[in-house]
Structure 1
Amino acid sequence: MGGPVWRLGLVLSLVVQAACASAGVRAARAARARTPLAARALAGVAPAVETGAAPARLADRTWNWKSYNVRYQAAGEGNAGPSVLLVHGFGGNADHWRDNTAALASAGLRVFAIDLLGYGKSDKPPPLDMGAACGEVRRGGVVSGTDRHPLGSGYNFYTWADQLNDFVAEVVADTRGVLCVCNSVGGVAGLQAALDNREAIRGVFLLDPSLRMLHVRRQNPLQVPLTSALQTMLRETPLGLAFFDAVATPRAVGNVLRQAYGVSARVDDELVDAILTPGRSPGAARVFLDFISYSGGPLPEDLVERLDGEKNPVWVAWGQEDPWEPFAQGQKYADFPAVRRFIPLPGVGHCPQDEAPERINELVREFAAEVFGSF
């Protein structure tokens, strides 16, 4: 895959081409979108493909958090079983769990799927204008050094962890606590939420969690200035918006996602549209460019290491064909005391919940039974 500077260099190359191309050069845009960097930038976005009859869409609901509207879906709220919170990855939303939410509810669980602030149909406020909703601000001087967002943006894992914990308290409202099932960067938010509130987040199930390869602690110190310069160029010049515009098309996203999926047949038009429609809403491009500049904050292994597996167990399932978060690197998570089970997923790529939904649903039921007992 190469180092982080190599990947950002490819992005920059794509951006320059996009800025110079006319709006009608669709073929050039499609070629740019097929590069590994375009795929890397959209890691966590993942559409699905039909598996027979399409399941009925769940109704969208809105929860007001810190004056912002947050969209979520729910199923099985009246069930007696444990509560499960599904957390999407970068660029995704609650629709990415289309073959999980209702299916898990039919097994007796109370299931909620949320759009993180800045994604899906949730509000997308300016990154530097979020006030007390910013998790780093709410923590005062506790967050420092490389744990901080380098730009002071409100789109950080502390903000999303606060959002998850407040949602659990106000909407899920289950005195037994909840299990977080998280894909990609959603896993870092779920782990941080568990550390912040160990009574409420009873366990975390990670599906191909993001390894955060652009984090400053992952980089060679000599590479940091160049990486930062490239990130600044993408974020603060028209080149970044040109790049976003180049990849924010149905054809480009479809090509990108087929690279991410080990089960490429699962990519269909319905969910590509479900991802792209909110991705084209006001503010979405700014969130996208802000996040690819997020080279600080917590690393997943730091968070897992601090959890107590007896009180807050962690399960990890990893697609062996994941091109973005390689299985060989993911295997190290099996060695952490908090990780009670590590499950390889042969033939599966970056988004197991969508590529192998029946298997993931089965594992979630097993995890719930381990944490809460039979239901």
Structure 2
Amino acid sequence: MIAEPPRRAERATVFAARLLQRRCDNDNDDDNDDKGGGDIHLLLFANAYTSPIPPKISPATNRPNQLFKWRGNQQIRYQQAGPISGDPVLLIHGLFVNSDHWRKTIKGLAEEGYNVYAIDLWGYGYSSKPPYDSPEAQAVNGENVRSPYNFFTWSELITDFSQDVIGVGKSPGIFQKKTKPVTLVSNSIGTSSALQAVMDKPDLYTGVCVVTPNFRELHSAEIPLPKLSMPIVRSVQKLLREKGQPLFDAAATPKTVKQILKEPYKIQSAIDDTLVDVLLDPLLLPGGSKVVFDTLSYSAGPLPDQQLDMFPSDKPVWISYGTKIHGHFCSQKVIAFDGIGHCPHDEAPELVNPFILEFLKRVSQ
């Protein structure tokens, strides 16, 4: 059993204490307005984080961008396609990308009659990305001791979205049918969050179809000689967090991004200008680079193979991956696609979409 970090109950107590302290501080400021307290309040208001505004229509999918207000004032951007009456499917993207990365999957599944949703995980795409140490970020933190941009936070988002937007687990209206459990489809780091969501709330989900799991080489359980290596890794991560902005600025250009994508993409023709634009533009939004460095600095949390050891036996997990990606997996079905890299759903949808559709038919039986 993986030892989990403190979760929501402990965090709520800590946050309530912080909120009370801030309120007391503000009361003291009110008694000293003539000494500049009003200027402090004005400064706090001026520095408040503002969520990004997405384009009305996604250039990658030609679908309307929609917004979900999560836990107060946190914005989550999502897209929906297909008949609402269809079986619900939720697509969870991978590292540094967003819901537009599922551009070819959204269309393919919707055409088969599924009710398809794709979200931008909190911190990515056009979802809110407040500073990791801000009260707004800590209020939704799925852990209590590390960065709020972590797999537990994202897994809680997945469950809240499934309940509040898709409607699973809620009593239907008089003339409505009960929403069926949601099937999750994940890529890369979205996999750990998807698996965790099912582990936490199994009744809400049918299973998980994984399109290449995440390989976290810097995780403390994966890195060789961790006692010697982890201090070095953490020093590099700290340096990136504090001094990495010039490096990010140099890399965040269309030409450089296209070059970087040649590493995970083995089918180079899939790297088109639309892909580069929809991945790069959100990263250039305020707070985007900070989330990049924060994610790179996260070497904890669950690994997919550890989660599968504890996964509910009645929830199927299928995994597909490119043969250019190496790994060992334990699941009900594993399929390899020859000559494809880390993003099979975008590189070869003609192979991956049928695999996903087969899984969807399997879990609906």
1:156 aligns with 2:161: no
Q: Counterpart in 1 of 2:237? A: 231
1:255-299 Cα offsets, whole Å, 9 max, x none, are 011121111111001110111111100000000001111011111
Helix, strand or coil at the partner of 1:206: strand
Aligned counterpart in structure 2 of residue 350 of structure 1, from 339, 342, 350: 342
Select between 278-287 and 71-80 the one with higher mean Cα deviation.
Answer: 71-80
Q: Secondary structure at the match of 1:62?
A: strand
Q: Secondary structure at the match of 2:213?
A: coil
SS in 2 for 1:100: helix
What is residue 210 of structure 2 aligned with on the other side? 206
The CA deviation at 1:201 is 2.1
Aligned residue for 2:289? Answer: 285
Q: Contact between 2:66 and 2:77, CA under 8 Å: does it hold in 1? A: yes
Following the alignment from structure 2 to structure 1, what is the Cα–Cα distance between the partners of residues 204 and 61? 30
Q: Percent identity?
A: 39
Select which of 121, 138, 163 maps to 1:131. Answer: 138
Unaligned runs of 5+ in 1: 1-53, 138-147
Render the CA deviation track for 1:163-194: whole Å, top value 9, x for unaligned. 00000001111432111111111111111111
2:320 is aligned to 317
Q: Secondary structure at the match of 2:277?
A: helix
Report the counterpart of residue 47 of structure 1 in structure 2. none
TM-score by length of structure 1 reads 0.75
Post-superposition Cα deviations, 1:37-93, rounded to whole Å, max 9, x if no partner, equal: xxxxxxxxxxxxxxxxx985111000000221100000114233x211101101110
Q: Which residue of 79, 82, 87 corresponds with 1:76?
A: 82
Query: For residues 187 and 162 of structure 1, what CA distance do their matches in structure 2 show?
Result: 13
Structure 2: 5+ residue stretches without partners: 1-58, 169-178
1:171 equivalent to 2:165? Answer yes
Determine the C-alpha separation between the residues in 2 that align with 1:55 and 1:270.
Answer: 6
State the distance in 2 between where 1:260 and 1:186 align. Answer: 16
**Paired residues, what number?**
292
Query: What is the aligned partner in structure 2 of residue 15 from structure 1?
Result: none
Q: CA deviation at 1:195?
A: 0.8
Q: Which whole-Å CA distance do the structure 2 matches of 1:259 and 1:234 have between them?
A: 21
- Choose which of 202, 217, 223 in structure 1 pairs with 2:221: 217
- Structure 1 residues 55 and 68: CA distance shift in structure 2, 3 A: closer
For residues 119 and 269 of structure 2, the distance between their equivalents in structure 1, rounded to whole angstroms, comes to 26
> Counterpart of 1:368?
360
Q: 1:7-22 counterparts in 2 under 5 A?
A: none
1:53-92 matched pairs, under 5 angstroms = 57-66=62-71, 67-80=73-86, 82-92=87-97
CA RMSD between the two structures? 1.4
- SS of equivalent to 1:135: coil
Change in CA separation of 1:342 and 1:56 when aligned onto 2, cut-off 3 Å? closer
Query: What's 2:113 paired with?
Result: 108
Q: Is the 8 A contact 2:61 2:103 kept in 1?
A: no
Instruction: Write out aligned runs for 1:301-340 (5 A).
Output: 301-309=305-313, 311-322=314-325, 327=326, 330=327, 332-333=328-329, 336=330, 339-340=331-332
The separation in 2 between residues aligned to 1:87 and 1:348, in whole angstroms, is 20
| Residue equivalent to 1:121 | 126
Aligned to 2:267: 263
The one-letter amino acid paired with 2:342 is H
TM-score by length of 2: 0.77
Please tell me whether the aligned partners of residues 132 and 138 of structure 2 are also in contact (alpha carbons under 8 angstroms). no
Give the whole-Å Cα distance in 1 for the aligned partners of 2:189 and 2:335: 19
* Structure with bigger RCO (C-alpha 8 Å, 6+ apart): 1
Give the Cα–Cα distance (whole angstroms) in 1 for the partners of residues 235 and 105 of structure 2: 40
Which entry has the higher C-alpha Rg, 1 or 2?
Answer: 2
Query: Secondary structure, in 3 states, of the residue corresponding to 1:243?
Result: helix
- Alpha-carbon contact 2:83-2:113 (below 8 Å) kept: no
**Structure 1 counterpart SS, 2:94:** coil
Kept after mapping to 1: 8 A contact 2:60/2:274? no
SS at match of 2:69: strand
